Structure 1
Amino acid sequence: MSWNAEFTECFDRCATTMRFTAYLMCGDWHEAEDVMQAAFLKLYLAGPKLARRDGLEPYLRQIVVRTFLAERRRVRWRRERVTDTPPELPEPAGMPEDKVVLWQALATVPPRQRAVLVLRYWNDLSVEETAAALRCSAGNVKSQGSRGLAVLRRTLGPDFGDLPVEV
Structure 2
Amino acid sequence: MPTAEDDFHAFVVARTPALSRTAYLLTGDAHLAEDLVQTALFKAARSWGRIQGSPEAYVRRILYTQNVSWWRARRVKETALGSYDAPAASADTDLRLTLEEALGRLTPRQRTVLVLRFFEDLTEVQAAHVLGIGSGTVKSITRQALGRLRTLAPELAELIGDPA
TM-score bracket for this pair, using the shorter chain length: 0.7 to 0.9
> Which position in structure 2 is the counterpart of 1:14?
15
In the alignment of these two chains, the number of paired residues is 160
Cα distance in structure 2, aligned partners of 1:47 and 1:153: 42
Unmatched 5+ stretches in structure 2: none
Cα distance in structure 2, aligned partners of 1:78 and 1:118: 18
Distance verdict in 2 for CA 1:76–1:95, change over 3 Å: same
Give the letter aligned to residue 126 of structure 1.
T
Residue of structure 2 aligned with 1:146, choices 105, 124, 143:
143
Give the letter aligned to residue 123 of structure 2.
S
Mapping of 1:1-167 within 5 angstroms?
A: 2-50=3-51, 53-76=52-75, 87-92=82-87, 96-157=93-154, 159-162=155-158, 163-165=160-162
Deviations for 1:73-119, whole angstroms, at most 9, x for unmatched residues? Answer: 445486769xxxx9324344776111111111101111122111011
Give the letter aligned to residue 43 of structure 1.
A
Please give the secondary structure, in 2, of the residue aligned with 1:160: helix
Cα distance in structure 1, aligned partners of 2:76 and 2:148: 22
Deviations for 1:124-154, whole angstroms, at most 9, x for unmatched residues? Answer: 2233332232223332222221111111111
Return the structure number with greater helix share. Answer: 2
Unmatched 5+ stretches in structure 1: none
Cα distance in structure 2, aligned partners of 1:79 and 1:103: 14
Identity of aligned residues (%): 28
Contact 1:23–1:29 (CA under 8 A) maintained in structure 2? yes
